[in-house]
Structure 1
């Protein structure tokens, strides 16, 4: 792995490059994550591939890049990475959770840059109850994650232990997860915290809710081959998943070009454990 930079109009985006092969895949992560979330996937890529796992603005090594945030802004950054590393050739694209929405927006706006799109437990419009304030929904769904961003821990290992106890991770804890947490940790000993920008999370979370209909339009009109891998269990390791089967079935009918696969995992282990990571690679590298 090496850290690389992607030139964008207001600075440089950080990404992690796994592998040295000439075939390129670009990856976008979840709302409080980083490019290190793709370590399991990267290890399973064939030798002639490289994975460019972005730290989206507001996260990881890109935490200092300014807003505004939102899926259209992230999509612009994804396209910049595709142009820089594709060098005139289209690349494969994968996004998980929030990153799936940003990747979908990128492929919808610039289809010539991408050979295929893999959505991992994200990318489908999330139903928002009529008349409910999006900020109320945001607090109910992402409140604990946003609160965690302002928490401090006595050491990096204490931060790792905090994640190790998470109900969605504990039973399948592995070194990829530990390295992901260590990469996110910053600050002096005694006051370790996440590198993730809380304001970026709030803006991005609200964008996912307010602009839900636009992601449906992106999916229906998509000109790039697309596959969705979704999990039956959600962010706390329990059913239902983030994308219930009825939601997946609805969009499969609306977008017949969408290939779907149910993967036995939860919202996090679908990306960070062996079997699901192998499934992602199978779709990502398909001819």
Structure 2
């Protein structure tokens, strides 16, 4: 399967412009390609033909290129649109306030700016919480939701502040934002040592991590604004955000990883946690993805394939298509 190219756009939102990546559909929806098809070999959509569209939202310290592996697996069968969320990468200059409602409204602003309709909204980690909030605030905009290891609230233990819980959940990521790196190779080595990847390294991950870097050698750093991450992290733990999934009228699916952020045996979710969260009373249907952790469910090859399969089912009703 060859490389899938994307275009970079800027769309108006409050306070400036949101940077958005778009992998256009290149295959007619009525003629699904073989698994080896790519954008360079496909026939393209006819003028005015409505291609299924996915808008995909990244995690709290990530960027739009976290969806590159999924784009490769989709192989031009749908249009995939992924923004750098406010405070990250190409959108790092956008001002606050941050939070799930702001990101949700930014998402709808890009949908309007690009003239999208009948959208499937996907989100990974924090992006899944944004997707749930967007589904509540703008239900008429979305065909369905795909939540990837996020979107279902976490119980805050009594006596533990939101800041303490945020540190417990994404402490290593917060430390990365405070760290400088002498060159791009050092940043790559940092990620290759991450327990989540266990020595594995997919080709599209290079672009994802390098997109995150700003500054000059020998003081390169993450583009993610610490204030944005703190505000957004606290908001994911807010009771109002946790209630969003229970207020949805838009249906969809939750894919949850077997293992956690640092590849620990306990993932963010399990059957008991989802039961306690009352997921059975929502229009979101859970599915465990064995053999994945919080990162590899999106960034790993097998995980990206599962996500792409779910998106294809949601957009064009292709059933359990091999991707």
Alignment TM-score, normalising by the size of structure 1: 0.94
Structure with the bigger percentage of helix: 1
Which position in structure 2 is the counterpart of 1:207?
A: 235
Distance in 2, matches of 1:268 and 1:172, equals: 12
Cα distance, 1:184 vs. partner? 0.8
| Kept in 2: contact 1:108–1:221 (CA 8 A) | yes
The one of 109, 134, 146 equivalent to 1:118 is 146
Tell me which of 218, 222, 225 is aligned to 2:248: 222
Preserved contact between residue 93 and residue 284 of structure 1 (Cα < 8 Å): no
Task: Give the match for residue 260 of structure 2.
Answer: 234
Q: Alignment RMSD, CA only? A: 1.5
Say which of 14, 20, 27 aligns to 2:19: 14
Distance 1:86 1:108 in 2: 21
Partner of 2:111: 82
- Between the aligned partners of 1:46 and 1:153, the Cα distance in structure 2 is 34
Structure 1 residues without counterparts, runs of 5 or longer: none
Given that residues 187 and 193 in structure 1 are in contact (C-alpha distance below 8 angstroms), is that contact kept between their aligned partners in structure 2?
yes
- Per the TM alignment, residue 216 of structure 1 is displaced from its structure 2 partner at its CA by 4.1
- Superposed displacement of residue 245, structure 1: 2.2
**Equivalent residue for 1:55?**
84
Residue 254 of structure 1 pairs with residue 254 of structure 2: no
Q: Is the 8 A contact 1:116 1:284 kept in 2?
A: no
1:86/1:172 Cα in 2 relative to 1: closer, same or farther (>3 Å)? farther
Q: Deviations over 1:178-231 (max 9, x none)?
A: 22111111211211111111110011111112x1x3234322221212100000
2:272 aligned with 1:267: no
**For 1:230-256, what per-residue CA distance to the aligned partner results, in whole angstroms no more than 9, with x for missing partners?**
00101101110012321223333222x
Pair 1:130-2:164 in alignment: no
After the TM superposition, list the runs of 4 or more consecutive aligned residues in structure 1 that deviate by more than 6 angstroms: none
One of 194, 198, 209 as aligned partner of 2:226: 198
Tell me which residue corresponds to 1:72.
101
The answer for the alignment partner of 1:38 in structure 2 is: 67
In structure 2, the gaps of 5 or more residues are 1-5, 27-50, 318-323
Q: Is 265-274 or 168-177 further displaced after alignment? A: 168-177
**Greater C-alpha Rg:** 2
1:23 offset after TM fit, Å?
2.2
- Rounded to whole Å, the distance in 1 between the matches of 2:183 and 2:246 is 47
How far residue 82 of structure 1 moved from its aligned partner, in angstroms, is 2.0
The range that moved more, 58-67 or 245-254, is 245-254
Distance in 2 (alpha carbons) for counterparts of 1:204 and 1:179: 24
Q: Is the 8 A contact 2:118 2:141 kept in 1?
A: yes
Deviates more, 1:123-132 or 1:276-285: 276-285
What is the aligned partner in structure 2 of residue 99 from structure 1?
127
Once structures 1 and 2 are overlaid, which stretch shifts more, 56-65 or 12-21?
12-21
Residue in structure 1 matched with residue 32 of structure 2 by the alignment: none
In the TM superposition, residue 46 of structure 1 has moved relative to its aligned partner by 4.6
Q: Is the 8 A contact 1:24 1:85 kept in 2?
A: no
Q: Aligned-pair distance for 1:259?
A: 1.4
Aligned CA distance change for structure 1 residues 243 and 272 (closer, same or farther; 3 Å)? same
C-alpha separation in 1, matches of 2:263 and 2:284: 26
Conservation of the 8 A alpha-carbon contact between 1:83 and 1:113 = no
CA distance in 2, matches of 1:192, 1:109: 38
The Cα offsets for residues 99-128 of structure 1, whole Å up to 9 and x where unpaired, read as 000011011111111111000000001110
| From 266, 282, 285, the counterpart of 2:309 | 282
Q: Which residue of 1 aligns with 2:197?
A: 169
